[in-house]
Amino acid sequence: MNISPELRKRVDNKIAELDSMAGMLPCIACIHNRDLELEYLSPLGQKQLGHTLEQLKAMGHDYHHLFFETEEADFVPKVVALLKSKDVSQRVSYFQRVKFYHENEWVWHATTSQILMQDDDGEVLLFITFSVPIDPKHHLTSKVTRLLEENIFLRKNYGKFAALGRREKEVLQLIATGKSNQEVAGELFISAATVETHRRNIKQKLDAGSLFDLMEYARAFDLV
């Protein structure tokens, strides 16, 4: 972030304020500047990522791609919209996946971001983010994770699903419940051969190779 030395000092003082109490926070605290560059990460966050703040800052924007699932994330547009709004009272909440140090699996986090500091002209300088990992041992975690993953699947594949016609969606719905071509034909008053044609076209449009793939579409788009 290219700012004057005087403004840089004010930014550093603001970050120091948070750092002085970061150890008392029951969450991970993170500060980015308006260019989405990392300025601060609380000790808990550094421990989970297995790197010091200096090491993480040296990574530049690669930091985001190494530790966060950015390809499937919807939080980036939300944060960008927050910064454009310049509204310090506005908050955005979202879920994001983070990869901890020496861990192979992504960990879901509940996260909230808010503008932390502006310059004298009202331009955003810093925004702060608080994140809490979702406890994998909680009995609701598996359900929450499934819903979040279905939402990711829905956003990635909406275009494919939208290409299906009304009749194809009806056939998909019945197939996903385990009905045979004959049973689907009986319910829709069409021939089994027509059902097979619909099934073939559906699999081609959705790039689905198995019944499981079809069922995943049906669940994500509320057909079953």
Both tokens of residue 149?
Answer: 């993953």
> Is the pLDDT reported for residue 182 higher than 90?
yes
Mean pLDDT of the chain: 90
Q: What is the tens place of the pLDDT at every residue in 79-129?
A: 999 999 999 999 999 888 898 888 888 888 889 999 999 999 999 999 999
| DSSP one-letter code for 52 | -
Report the predicted TM-score, pTM, of the whole model to 2 decimal places.
0.70
What domains can you pick out in the chain, each with its CATH number? 5-133 (3.30.450.20), 141-220 (3.40.50.2300)
What integer is the mean pLDDT of 199-203? 93
Looking at this protein, which amino acid is placed at residue 209?
G
What integer is the mean pLDDT of 213-217? 90
Start-to-end CA span in the chain (Å):
49
Name the pLDDT band for 76 (thresholds 50, 70, 90): confident
Both tokens of residue 80?
Answer: 């960008």
Name the β-bridge partners of 128: 31, 114
Query: Is 72 within 8 Å of 94 (Cβ atoms)?
Result: no
